[in-house]
């Protein structure tokens, strides 16, 4: 599936690449393993596709794209992996009340969380 969709689709700046789903899951898990009660998302610092996954919202975008493209059995399996990660992200990040001013419309809820350096209310 990754090889078939190795292009820029559905808002993914770098599209999918061979190993994108595995990399996205790895970065998502690593983000949630960080210590502390609350976590802030970080902006990416490089244009390399895998470097963009430092921003866990980009990693989640890749997983969302894969969930839409995979056939039903594989989609269900990936969904079982993503659901607890999403629950952890919701629990350990705070909503950003000003996200609508900064981020594209139609992005997933994971784009509307506080980023590093944002004002905590």
- What tens digit of pLDDT does each residue of 28-77 get? 999 999 999 999 998 877 666 667 888 999 999 999 999 999 999 999 99
> Is residue 121 within 8 Å of 97, Cβ to Cβ?
yes
Q: How confident is the model at residue 118 (pLDDT cuts 50, 70, 90)?
A: low
Q: How confident is the model at residue 115 (pLDDT cuts 50, 70, 90)?
A: confident
**CA angle (105 as vertex; 82, 78 as ends), nearest 5:** 15
**pLDDT of the residue at 10:** 40
Q: Is pLDDT of 116 > 90? A: no
Closest CA to 118 of 39, 8, 4: 39
């Amino acid at each position: 599936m990754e090889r078939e969709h190795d292009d820029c689709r559905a808002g993914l700046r770098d599209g999918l690449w061979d190993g994108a789903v595995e990399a996205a899951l790895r970065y998502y898990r690593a983000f949630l393993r960080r210590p502390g009660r609350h976590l802030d998302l970080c902006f990416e610092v490089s244009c390399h596709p895998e470097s963009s996954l430092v921003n866990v919202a980009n990693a989640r975008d890749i997983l969302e794209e894969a969930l839409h493209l995979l056939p039903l059995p594989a989609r269900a399996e990936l969904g079982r992996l993503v659901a607890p990660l999403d629950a952890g992200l919701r629990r350990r990040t705070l909503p950003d009340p000003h996200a609508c001013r900064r981020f594209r419309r139609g992005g997933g809820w994971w784009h509307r969380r506080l980023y590093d350096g944002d004002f905590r209310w």
